[in-house]
Structure 1
Amino acid sequence: MKVALIHRFGPPEVLSICEVPTPPVGDTDVLIRTEAIGLNFADIFARLGFYPAIPKPPFVPGIELSGVVEKKGKSVRDLKTGDRVLAFTRQHGYAEYVSVPSGQVARVPRQMGFKEAAAFGVTSLTAYHGLVTLGNMKKGDRVLLHAAAGGVGIASLQLARHVGADVHATVGSDSKMDLVRSLGAETVTNYSEDDFAEPVRIATNGEGVDIVFDSVGGRVFRKGWKLLAPMGRYVLFGFAAVANHNGIGKLRAARESLSVPLIYPPALVSKNVSLMGFNLYFLMQKKEYLRRAMKILFRLYARGVLRPVIGAEYPFDKIADAHRFLQSRKSVGKVVVMMGR
């Protein structure tokens, strides 16, 4: 079978297509014939060697895909051969066939195509876990959402508007602002060029926000932290600020890391605020939580609340180009790679 292999950490060119044996299927696993792959910024960090718990090269990256169940282990009861599914993988997702623990696989709604399915799982689950489970988002909350034009950002904006929260959004370039406004954000600012804090202060009458949902980190974190209102929740789930189109330079990483303020624990108590972080990679081990969350998210999809925006599509043999485009920070919504045969 074909896989996209990382043979050393580095730029997109380190991804190469090669042939390997089809993986075995364990008793609690299913073998999926891949139809579409969802690209995530975590894949960029994995390729650059800047992601937790990744194997040493050579390895097959990829944490999200959709396809058809080809075979199942003898202990699997809730899935059958021929089921259309999406899957969360702890790497090894860039492959024609992937063996995945059944607890990390969900049958997709009939009306959801493979392309949409590959764009749905990570984005919607990240938004749900960060805003609802950790952020306890509710009607009337003021939410500051960074990188709102990306796949997770769009899902987060859709979910927040459904709940009845007031969303203040940032994006990485002016070209992305109209889309985010059309999805219901009250204020939209280009965080890479403009001061996003002042428009938020004005819009909230100086009170600040109840939730900050941040995948950027660095200097964006410093400003966002100061906007947090009493009883506010700051949820950090990424550090995209350290990467640019050339990768992760040591100087850039150091500069962005040093810009993050030291958090003095008593200050959390006196201001009555919370700082939380999460990584979906480790959340994949929580099989019962995944099952419950995906059931909720599929219901929201069926009601039209959550609908992924696919900004770019690439064939499998151009997966290095897909990485290059995602890393350029020019993408809107989700970048999807179609396997094709």
Structure 2
Amino acid sequence: MKALYFESFGGPEVLQYGDIADPVVKADTLLVKTTVIGLNFADIYRRRGHYHIEQHQPYIDGYEGIGIITAIGQAVSEYEVGERVLFVDVPFANAEVVAVPVDRAIRVPARLTDEEAVTVGLQGLTADFLAHDLAQNRPGDPVLVQGISGGVGQLLAQLLVADGQVVYGVASSATKAQAAYEIGAQQVFRREDDWSSTHQNYFRTAFDGAGVTLLDSLKVTQKRGRTVFYGMAGGNPPKVDPIALMKDSKNLMTGDLWDFLDSAKSRQARADRLFHYVLTQQVQAQPAKVYALAEGAQAHRDLEAGAYAGKLLLKP
């Protein structure tokens, strides 16, 4: 099969495209011929050697994709050859064929295209877990999304609006701010403005995927409110004093999506909830930009440069 692979860690230039051996189907796995593969910033970190990556010779990046089942293991009874499945946490995804453990396969409604499903897949499930497991807000609550124009931020904001919360955001440009207004934001602050001083103790929940802005997020969170920390897109977060949190009765929440996708039943139920938002047009992902898998190095360069605000997809 063809795959995008690398033999040493480094920049996009280490990526190669060529033939490697097909994966072997095991008793509890599905062989999936991929049609669309999702590219995420975690893939950049893995290529650089900054994130854990599964051992393989050569290395194959990627964890998210969709495709058609071409073979099933002898212990698999719930799927058949020819069915379409999505996966969001299966290694070696940057390839024409991926071995998917049966408990990590997700069925997708027929009304969703392959591109739509992958565009909302991992980032949408992340947004769903942040909103419904960690924050647990009520209708009418004022909430803040740092980086509201990012991949997770856009989907999270729409989920919160659909759930009846009053959404504010922080964006780095007028164009990104306008995009946030178009998905339902009540107000969008520019990153360079002194918005945290004018909105101290204002938000029931502040969602922070930037990392470096964590103290600002805590500053604007209400007493007994929650700051939900979920990423370091802007750099490592500063140290937080737990005594200061206790004094102001503020809660710092965090978690790992994989701890909540703890069974095939839970995984499908969460995906079905997300797909309902999409099918009822309460959540609409920005159109994705598609590259051939052979153009993977350029896709990595564009993702690192922030050249496109939407999802980047790879097609075998």
TM over 0.5: yes
Q: Establish whether residue 292 from structure 1 lines up as the match of residue 269 from structure 2.
A: yes
Q: Distance in 1 between matches of 2:302 and 2:194?
A: 26
Q: Which runs of 5+ in 1 are unaligned?
A: 243-255
Q: Which amino acid aligns with 2:168?
A: H
Match of 1:233 among 226, 230, 245: 226
* Residue-by-residue CA offset, 1:64-94 (whole Å, 9 max, x unaligned): 1011111111222322211122112343111
Alpha-carbon distance change, 233 to 288 in structure 1, aligned in 2, over 3 angstroms: farther
Q: Distance in 2 between matches of 1:281 and 1:48?
A: 22
* Residue-by-residue CA offset, 1:203-228 (whole Å, 9 max, x unaligned): xxx5421112222111x112112111
Q: Establish whether residue 223 from structure 1 lines up as the match of residue 216 from structure 2.
A: yes
* Residue-by-residue CA offset, 1:257-306 (whole Å, 9 max, x unaligned): 5xx1x323333333222222233456555433212211211222222222
Which residue in the other structure is 2:141 paired with?
Answer: 141
Q: Which amino acid aligns with 2:302?
A: F
- Comparing 298-307 with 151-160, greater Cα deviation is found at 298-307
Q: Distance in 2 between matches of 1:51 and 1:299?
A: 32
Which residue in the other structure is 1:124 paired with?
Answer: 124
Quote the sequence identity (%): 29
Alpha-carbon distance change, 236 to 88 in structure 1, aligned in 2, over 3 angstroms: same
Query: Could you state the TM-score of these two structures normalised by the residue count of structure 1?
Result: 0.86
Which residue in the other structure is 1:61 paired with?
Answer: 61
Q: Distance in 2 between matches of 1:263 and 1:183?
A: 32
Query: Could you state the TM-score of these two structures normalised by the residue count of structure 2?
Result: 0.92
Q: Which amino acid aligns with 1:168?
A: Y
Q: Distance in 2 between matches of 1:209 and 1:57?
A: 48
Q: CA deviation at 1:310?
A: 2.4
Which residue in the other structure is 2:40 paired with?
Answer: 40
Give SS of 2:119's match.
helix
Q: Which amino acid aligns with 1:271?
A: D
Which residue in the other structure is 1:21 paired with?
Answer: 21
Which residue in the other structure is 1:212 paired with?
Answer: 206
Q: Distance in 2 between matches of 1:136 and 1:336?
A: 31
Q: Distance in 2 between matches of 1:208 and 1:58?
A: 50
Q: Which amino acid aligns with 1:95?
A: A
Q: Which runs of 5+ in 2 are unaligned?
A: none
Q: Distance in 1 between matches of 2:257 and 2:54?
A: 13
Q: What's the RMSD between the two structures over aligned residues?
A: 2.1
Decide whether the 8 Å contact of 1:154 with 1:333 is kept in 2. no
Q: Establish whether residue 269 from structure 1 lines up as the match of residue 246 from structure 2.
A: yes
Which residue in the other structure is 2:101 paired with?
Answer: 101
Which residue in the other structure is 2:183 paired with?
Answer: 183
Alpha-carbon distance change, 52 to 209 in structure 1, aligned in 2, over 3 angstroms: farther
Q: Give the number of aligned pairs.
A: 316
Q: Establish whether residue 74 from structure 1 lines up as the match of residue 67 from structure 2.
A: no
Q: Distance in 1 between matches of 2:195 and 2:288?
A: 25
* Residue-by-residue CA offset, 1:220-258 (whole Å, 9 max, x unaligned): 11211211111222222211113xxxxxxxxxxxxx55x
Q: Distance in 2 between matches of 1:2 and 1:227?
A: 49
Q: Distance in 2 between matches of 1:331 and 1:189?
A: 21
Q: Distance in 2 between matches of 1:238 and 1:41?
A: 11
Alpha-carbon distance change, 20 to 284 in structure 1, aligned in 2, over 3 angstroms: farther
Decide whether the 8 Å contact of 2:10 with 2:48 is kept in 1. yes
